[in-house]
A and B are shown apart, each in its own frame.
Chain A
Amino acid sequence: DTAVSQTPKYLVTQMGNDKSIKCEQNLGHDTMYWYKQDSKKFLKIMFSYNNKELIINETVPNRFSPKSPDKAHLNLHINSLELGDSAVYFCASRPRGSGANVLTFGAGSRLTVL
């Protein structure tokens, strides 16, 4: 009964490849996020979607393309992977109108680019 689930949990790939990370939440939340956590544990927001509509795009390279087929899913596709893309990517969600921004996070997807 995982609330926010991400797949895969681990991903190792070569530079230049294209990969996707999937996220699903069963909480009925309207807003979903992607955060990137670098090797120093710094967490930075990448994207936010509200009911399939892009709300936040934080100057992320256009090699990163989020896709939200419905409000329960937010996938992250990365083209032409670079070494610097190695990180842990966290999906999160929150209910509409939750002004306090209490996010529920997934367990993370660790991407390693060789």
Chain B
Amino acid sequence: AQSVTQLGSHVSVSEGALVLLRCNYSSSVPPYLFWYVQYPNQGLQLLLKYTTGATLVKGINGFEAEFKKSETSFHLTKPSAHMSDAAEYFCAVSSDNTDKLIFGTGTRLQVFP
């Protein structure tokens, strides 16, 4: 079975500050890992994904995440927050042998001027 834990349901940062959203996963098989973003009243958009290969993955809007197998983590970071980054962020896990995408409970990012 696979699962995802997102630590912190709310994260607040000042504009220009580092963004760090935490995600830990559990998987008995090599995981595929994803970060999705949901802006208010919209569907989910893919930010970035890890499947195999390079463990540091770059996504859209300046976000990146690093797969750390030893820590079972896939934390999302952005060096400098922008007001437009305010949204709900979801970490998700899947694998090669399943049709399911399992989501975490989400982290709401607030950015203050």
Confirm or deny: B103 has a beta carbon within 8 angstroms of a beta carbon on chain A. Answer: yes
Residue B105 contacts which of A31, A41, A55 (CB distance < 8 angstroms)?
A41
User: Are A48 and B45 interface neighbours, CB within 8 A?
Assistant: no
Q: A103–B103 Cα gap in the complex (Å)?
A: 12
User: Are B99 and A31 interface neighbours, CB within 8 A?
Assistant: yes
Residue B100 contacts which of A56, A90, A99, A106 (CB distance < 8 angstroms)?
A56
Tally of B interface residues using CB under 8 Å: 25
Q: A26–B63 Cα gap in the complex (Å)?
A: 28
User: Are A105 and B43 interface neighbours, CB within 8 A?
Assistant: yes
Q: A29–B72 Cα gap in the complex (Å)?
A: 31
- Indicate the member of A31, A50, A55, A108 with the most B CB atoms within 10 Å: A108
Q: A101–B98 Cα gap in the complex (Å)?
A: 9
Within 8 A of B (CB), among A38-87: 40-45, 48, 50, 55-56
Taking CB atoms, residues of chain B closer than 8 Å to A31 are 99
Which residues of chain A have a CB within 8 Å of any CB of chain B?
4, 31, 40-45, 48, 50, 55-56, 90, 92, 99-103, 105-108
